[in-house]
Homo-oligomer: A and B are copies of this chain.
Amino acid sequence: MALYAVIMAGGVGSRFWPRSRRANPKQFLDVLSTSSLIQKTYERVLPDIPAERIFVVTHEDYAQTTRQHLPDIPPENVLAEPIARNTAPCIALAAARLHALDPDAVMAVLPADHFVRQPERFLEVLRAATERALQPAEDGAGALVTIGIEPTHPETGYGYIQYDASDREDDEDAPRAFRVLAFAEKPDLSTAERFLDSGDFLWNSGMFIWRADAILGALQQYLPEIATAFAGVEDAFAAGDATSAVADAYAATPRISIDYGVMERAAADGRVYVVPGSFGWNDVGDWRAVYDLADKDAAGNAAEGTVITHGSSRTYARASDGRLLVLVGVRDLAVVDTGDAVLVCSLDLAQQVKDIVDYLGAHGMERHV
């Protein structure tokens, strides 16, 4: 068998406004690095997966930029979605492509825009997940494997995975797979605290590892309308040109997530496994997350570009090229300056930046979106 990476790069990441724009989504930003988030995702798997086996699924508007960011992967490995339909169709497309290429393909499905501080530990977890994905589930169906993050605090911004930790030892060092009992939506704080205390809940990272035929079988069983919509796509890939088959599939497919459409139901059938891991993961969901991850001075100020902080603490400030950003006597703020816009945002309310983007779109301010 061979392991393939499928990088999912379909979103816009509007909570990263004003840096993220419709024409330049989050995965293309150099957040906390000199390379873009999608480049970091690519580099992270490269020790285990050669460039020609790394695929990206993205909106067709972003296909060209994706190829520019990842010049070493074959151009045809960038699979273009004509329309965003959430993760289940995206994964159906990639599975069809890989299964046409390699009936024994194993896919590692990875979001393009996450942060990993310890990439080597990530790869150890990925290897354990791959090993488990090669074995069938107990009932003989294909195993669906996910990566769960050991929680460090009662986070309310992530979904959770409950797993059967009954035979896990406290001093286990090597990552291995456990049976998933259930998926849980983003909890409220008291529920998150209960999850954390229980010891058998993990953060849902949105990373999946499975054989292409396993996920195709699961789609057939749990989301037959998607399987039907994508029925002709694999043959079209095998025949050489899938453009019109993909267009037809997206026109017919419903909009649904793989978590809700497949994973929750397959977990109830005992076919989902999770490999717990701790590798400095963060989904970098908003400017608050960037602040948390960034290097800071003694007063807790993080700066990119030409920034002067005076009497300030707990700030993230980013000046665009050639501009100077000065903070005087402020705290708990993100200040993000771009060519045409400036955001000044309470770190505690960074999630609301998404509302601003919605507002701009609804009020004729498209040029800033």
The stretch of A80-88, A203-211, A230-238, A341-349 that contacts the partner chain: A341-349
Q: In the complex, are the beta carbons of B342 and A311 less than 8 A apart?
A: no
Is residue A323 contacting chain B, with contact meaning CB distance below 8 A? yes
| Residue from B322, B330, B341 within 8 A of A344 (CB atoms) | B330
A285 to nearest B CB, angstroms? 15
Is residue A174 contacting chain B, with contact meaning CB distance below 8 A? no
Also in contact, A345 and B319, with CB within 8 A (given A308-B359, A310-B356, A356-B308)? no
A302 to nearest B CB, angstroms? 14
Q: In the complex, are the beta carbons of B322 and A340 less than 8 A apart?
A: yes
Q: In the complex, are the beta carbons of B340 and A328 less than 8 A apart?
A: no
Q: How far is the CA of A329 from the CA of B287 in the complex (A)?
A: 13
Q: Which of the listed residues A311, A325, A335, A341 has the most CB atoms from chain B within 10 Å of its own CB?
A: A341
Contact code string A309-347 (vs B, CB < 8 Å = 1, else 0): 011000001010011111111100101010011111110
| Residue from B310, B324, B343, B344 within 8 A of A355 (CB atoms) | B310
Interface residue range, chain A: 35 or more
| Residue from B317, B330, B356 within 8 A of A345 (CB atoms) | B330
Also in contact, A344 and B326, with CB within 8 A (given A311-B349, A349-B311)? yes
Q: Name the CB-closest residue of B to A339.
A: B323
Is residue A18 contacting chain B, with contact meaning CB distance below 8 A? yes
Copies in the complex: 2
Q: How far is the CA of A262 from the CA of B138 in the complex (A)?
A: 98
- Neighbouring B residues of A311 by C-beta, 8 Å: 346, 349, 352
- Neighbouring B residues of A355 by C-beta, 8 Å: 310
Q: Name the CB-closest residue of B to A327.
A: B344
Q: Name the CB-closest residue of B to A334.
A: B328
Q: In the complex, are the beta carbons of A341 and B328 less than 8 A apart?
A: no
Q: Name the CB-closest residue of B to A340.
A: B323
- Neighbouring B residues of A31 by C-beta, 8 Å: none
Known: A310-B352, A328-B346. 12 other contacts (CB 8 A): A18-B326, A323-B342, A324-B341, A324-B365, A326-B341, A326-B343, A326-B345, A328-B356, A329-B349, A333-B344, A335-B344, A337-B342
Q: Which 6 A-B pairs have the closest CB atoms?
A: A329-B346, A329-B349, A328-B345, A324-B341, A324-B368, A327-B344
